[in-house]
Every structure is written in structure tokens, then in C-alpha cells.
Amino acid sequence: MKKIAIVFAALLLCQISSAASIKTETIQDQGLTRTYHIYIPDNLPADAPLVFVLHGYGGNASGYQPAFISLADEYKMAVCYPQATVDPKNRNGWNVYYPWQIDKMQVDDCEFICTLAKHLQTTYNLSERNTFFCGMSNGGEMCYLMAYRKPKEFAAIASMAGLTLVEMTKRHSYTEPVAFMEVHGTGDVTSRWEGDPTNQYGWGAYLAVPVAVGAVAAANKCMYEETTELPQIKNKVILHRYYGSPSGKEVWFYEVRNGVHSWATDSFDSCRAIMEFFKMNMR
């Protein structure tokens, strides 16, 4: 009996010691020490894809959306959770031109993410071509900003409940087609489906979600649409697939009927959908 227990304990220890773990690291960028968490699955092959996952406003990278950890093992991709800095409202936030950030927040988070991507690609021998980007809410806004500013740096971008602020449209134009995905609840009262043209709700004026997604589809010159209703779990989820772009870059738009401001995991496996979208867009 003792022998069995010893063997079992040894096996357990062996398992623990070989299991990959999330490492917390820092990098210097724009005069700031930036923190991020990186997960490299065991036996990850060289030149494996890298996925960024950005938290929302006031959020924290530590322990954020753990679903991507097990998915990273399954899809054989590295995952990085960067931490936003403290913004002028004294909350953790990505600089996406919220009214209180304009002219007061100096950090350029798009540049930071690109610098971090290069650092991780070099340090962990990850793929430069297959680096992907996703984020929720404030992190979702970063997705649109990244599509405007750094479309070539990422093989695909996926926004969860993200927005295009009017300020972004004033400062930038889409210059390159980009594979893009949006998941959004029609009942989201934080990042409203119908937009907020007059900044009634304080986040700054922003586009209606279908208009924002349509702008990416138009920039890609997508020509056709395929509509699919997913098997219903809670809220009805409709996938609008815009395709036929000369570049081959598609736009996938998950409309979650009556969905709220969330990852919508109660209605479909949104994290897996993101990973599938990324896998589909491997270069």
C-alpha cells in the first residue's frame, strides 16, 4: 500500500513539475515598466503562434479569462495577458481616446503591444507572422484601434464587446485589409449596440456596432454575406460572415441577441470561436 502511495505521489510530482505555468514578466517601454503574463504550453513547437488577450477597463491581467490557457494547450499557441497602465481617472485602462484620456494620457498602447510582440517572438521563438490580438470591452476598443493603426502586425484580430470611438475615425483610416471578428450583445448597455453619437453615456461618442463592423468589412471590400444561427444555449447567436474580399480577409460578426456586456460564454463558446478564427487565419 505504501509503495502504491509513493509511486502515485512521485507521478503527481512529476506531472506538476512538467506542467507549464503562467509567468509574470516585465518590459521597459516608453519610459515605463510594463507587466505582462505569458503562458507557453509544454512542448510548444518553434515558431508557434502568439495570442494577446487584453482585459477591460479597470481590469487586471492577472488571472484574466483563464479559458485561453487550456485552449492554448489544445491549439498549441502561446498566450500573453498584458497589463494596462493607470489612466487619468486612476483606473487601469488602455489608451483608446476616451474623453479623459485625450491629451492627458501619454502612453501609446498600440506601440507597447507591438514592442512586446517582438520581444516575445524573439525570447520564446514565437511566430512573427502568426501573432493574434483579442480583447474585451476597453481591450475590444484596442482591437479596432489596432486594426486602424497596425493591421500588418497581426494575422487576425478579435474584439469582444468592443467599440469604434468617433475620435478613432477622425484620427485614422483603415489602410490595409484585416481579418476581424466582433462578438457583441444587442442588449449591451455599457457598449451600446446602437452607438452613442452624442456621448450621452460618457465613454465618448462612438459608432453603432453594426456600423463599426461594416466599416471593417467595407475596408476589406468584403462582397458577400453568409448568415448562420448557432445552436441556441441561452441567447440566440447569429454569425454574419462577410467574405469575398480580394485580400481573402474575412470579417466575422457574432450578434448575440439580448446579450449583455460580457464574453457571452453563456450563449456560445466564444473563446474557442476566437481561437478557431485565429487558426483559420494562420499565415
Partner 1 sequence: MKRIIFIITSLLLFAAVSCEKNGTDEGTAGGGESSLTYETVSVAGHDAVVVKPIDLEAGAPVVVLLSDDMTLRSLSAKAPDINFKAAEHCLIGRYALCVIGTEGSGDVSFLSSVGGLFPEASKLYLLSYRNGLSYTAAMKMPDAFAAYGCVSGAIDVEAYRANGFQKPVSFVHVHATDNSVYKWNGVEDKYVSVPLSVGAIVALDKCITFENSDLLPREGKGRVTCTHYINGQSGCDVKLYSVESGDNGWCDQEFEVYNQIWNFFKTH
Per CB under 8 A, which region of 73-81, 121-129, 223-231, 263-271 contacts partner 1? 223-231
Q: Which residues contact 74 (CB under 8 A, 6 or more apart)?
A: 275
Residue 255 to residue 211: CA distance in whole angstroms = 13
Instruction: Give the residue with the Cβ less far from partner 1, 154 or 206.
Output: 206
Helices 67-75 and 270-280: angle between axes, nearest 10 degrees: 30
Q: Which amino acid is at 271?
A: C
Q: 76 φ, ψ to 5°?
A: 55, 60
Does position 224 bind partner 1 by CB under 8 A? yes
Beta-ladder partners of 92: 86
Residue 84 to residue 35: CA distance in whole angstroms = 8
Does position 282 bind partner 1 by CB under 8 A? no
The minimum distance between CB 59 and partner 1, in angstroms, equals 27
Residue 78 to residue 63: CA distance in whole angstroms = 16
Instruction: Give the residue with the Cβ less far from partner 1, 82 or 210.
Output: 210
Instruction: Give the residue with the Cβ less far from partner 1, 77 or 207.
Output: 207
Per CB under 8 A, which region of 51-59, 94-102, 164-172, 269-277 contacts partner 1? 164-172
Does position 223 bind partner 1 by CB under 8 A? yes
Beta-ladder partners of 53: 134
Indicate which single residue of 166, 230, 238, 239 sits in contact with partner 1 (rule: CB under 8 A).
166
Contacts with partner 1 in 26-65 (CB under 8 A)?
A: none
Contact 58, 91 (CB under 8 A): yes
Pairing of strands 156-160, 180-185: parallel
Contacts with partner 1, 182-221, as mask; x by CB under 8 A: ------------xxxx-------xxxx-xx--xx-xxx-x
Indicate which single residue of 122, 123, 228, 246 sits in contact with partner 1 (rule: CB under 8 A).
246
Chain centroid to CA 252: how far?
14
Indicate which single residue of 169, 187, 257, 260 sits in contact with partner 1 (rule: CB under 8 A).
169
The minimum distance between CB 191 and partner 1, in angstroms, equals 13
The minimum distance between CB 215 and partner 1, in angstroms, equals 4
Instruction: Give the residue with the Cβ less far from partner 1, 194 or 266.
Output: 194
Where does 51-99 have alpha helices with state H? 67-75
Residue 242 to residue 250: CA distance in whole angstroms = 6
Does position 84 bind partner 1 by CB under 8 A? no
Does position 99 bind partner 1 by CB under 8 A? no
Residue 211 to residue 152: CA distance in whole angstroms = 23
Instruction: Give the residue with the Cβ less far from partner 1, 8 or 201.
Output: 201
Residue 121 to residue 127: CA distance in whole angstroms = 6
Does position 168 bind partner 1 by CB under 8 A? no
Interface with partner 1 (CB under 8 A): 166, 169-170, 194-197, 205-208, 210-211, 214-215, 217-219, 221-227, 242, 244, 246
